Amino acid sequence: MFRSSSCVRAFTLALLLVALSVAEAFAHCFVGPRFLPATLATDDPCVADELSLPTVQWSKTGDQPPATEWDISAELSKRITEDLGISIGDTWSQIHQPGGFTAAGFGNFETTVQYQLLKDGPHELALLLGLVVEWGGTGAIHSGLAEPWSTLTPTFYFGKGFGDLPDSFGWLRAFAVTGQVGYSFPTRSFDVDAGVFIPQTLVYGGSIQYSMPYLKSEIRDYQLPDFINHLIPIVEAQFTTPVANNFGNSPITIGTINPGVIWVGTYFQVGAEAVIPVNRASGTGVGFLGQLHLYLDDMFPSTIGRPLLGGGSSAPPQQLKF
């Protein structure tokens, strides 16, 4: 276990150093004229050079009585080629039980490899495949905040803007949806310590979003205040449903619905969402989720904002044609 943990950390550091030192350019999630922002609770359908630092969540667990939980996480995403990207991330959590007991520590390291299947500009459609790996034994196992086993989640992501609807649809064309579906299976089937089966789960979610920047630049400029023109109101939802190897555990789907808003700037975006549990097993009361998200490709267009391979900074830009 120690060896595995060291390898993951060494890989992470090496990755970061490479990301800091090398150089091609282009976008975060642009699909034709549509910009899909980085979503807070789910993932957007593009590979990109981005940094979410921090993402902060406050919520109350579904325990009886409920515990108070803080989660602070960071995630760095980096393109290897124009269509292939990787991400590394980790979360520090603190859970305070009523009565004074507090557990705190890091969760397991998480890495993601993603491949951009499609970016169809005229139809504002993006498709992405990914493999999320939570590396067992790299977090605070003894605090109960991480598991000793790893979890693999092959995931399909999509995003679709409705700007290709006829002009007669007017302001409705500023809507877009994103979604993801993954199948999560642990590398162990039974937790000997707790004496329970470890279920395989379906992990799915998505967002519906309304782009004020799109309304202003593609449909109609109502000359609203600049601040309003940078907003993307959004509702996200995320769910986990046990589907196999769940003997003796609860079969209940857990999840949250998160209404909120994202402010999109030139170099970064800021998002805030309420976190509403869909049932008692998912949490107690309304929580909060906030994120500062940095566009590395815009901040560092000639260095770490470019894919590591597939083009150099000296390459001339492609001639634009109609």
Partner 1 sequence: MRIRILIIAALLNIVGAVAAQAHAFLEHANPLVGSTVASAPREVSLTFTQNLEASFSSVQVTDGNGARVDQGKPQVSGNTMRVGLKSLSAGTYRVRWQVLSVDTHKTEGSFAFTVGGR
Least separation in angstroms between residue 30's CB and partner 1 is 7
Distances (CA, A) of 269 to 47, 111, 234, 235: 17, 23, 13, 16
Cβ proximity of 201 and 175 under 8 Å: no
- Using the contact rule CB under 8 A, the part of the chain among 10-18, 179-187, 190-198, 243-251 near partner 1 is 10-18
The correct pick among 60, 79, 160, 216 for binding partner 1 (CB under 8 A) is 216
> In the set 2, 101, 168, 223, which binds partner 1 (CB under 8 A)?
223
Q: Which phi-psi region, left, alpha or beta, contains residue 105 (left: φ > 0; alpha: ψ -120 to 50)?
A: left
Query: What letter represents residue 260's amino acid?
Result: G
Q: Which two three-digit tokens encode residue 29?
A: 């999630």
Which 244-283 positions form the footprint of partner 1 (CB under 8 A)?
A: 266-267
- Least distance from partner 1 to the Cβ atom of residue 224, Å: 12
Exactly one of 254, 257, 304, 308 binds partner 1 (CB under 8 A); which one? 304
Q: How far apart, in whole angstroms, are the C-alpha atoms of residue 115 and residue 141?
A: 31
Specify the stretch interacting with partner 1 by CB under 8 A; choose among 188-196, 197-205, 279-287, 295-303.
Answer: 295-303
**Best CA proximity match to 114, nearest among 29, 177, 56:** 29
Q: How far is the CB of 125 from partner 1 (least distance, A)?
A: 15
Contact string (CB under 8 A) for partner 1, positions 162-201, x = contact: -----x----------------------------------
Please list every residue from 12 through 51 that binds partner 1, using CB under 8 A: 12-13, 16, 20, 25-27, 30, 32-33, 51
Residue 290 touching partner 1 (CB under 8 A):
no
Q: For 21, list phi and psi in degrees, rounded to 5.
A: -110, -20
Positive or negative torsion for Cα 10, 13, 16, 17:
negative
Q: Is 62 in the site for partner 1 (CB under 8 A)?
A: no
Tokens of 158: 């999509």
State the nearest-atom distance from the C-beta of 16 to partner 1, in Å: 6
Residues 162/178, Cβ–Cβ less than 8 Å: no
Burial of 115 (0-12, 13-18, 19+ CB in 10 A): middle
63 binds partner 1 (CB under 8 A): no
Contact between 199 and 244 under an 8 Å Cβ cutoff? The reply is yes
Per the CB < 8 A criterion, the answer to whether 204 and 180 are in contact is yes
Question: Near partner 1 by CB under 8 A, which window of 40-48, 59-67, 200-208, 211-219?
Answer: 211-219
Contact positions vs partner 1 (CB under 8 A): 9, 12-13, 16, 20, 25-27, 30, 32-33, 51, 53, 74, 76, 90, 106, 121, 167, 213, 216-221, 223, 266-267, 294-302, 304, 317-320, 322
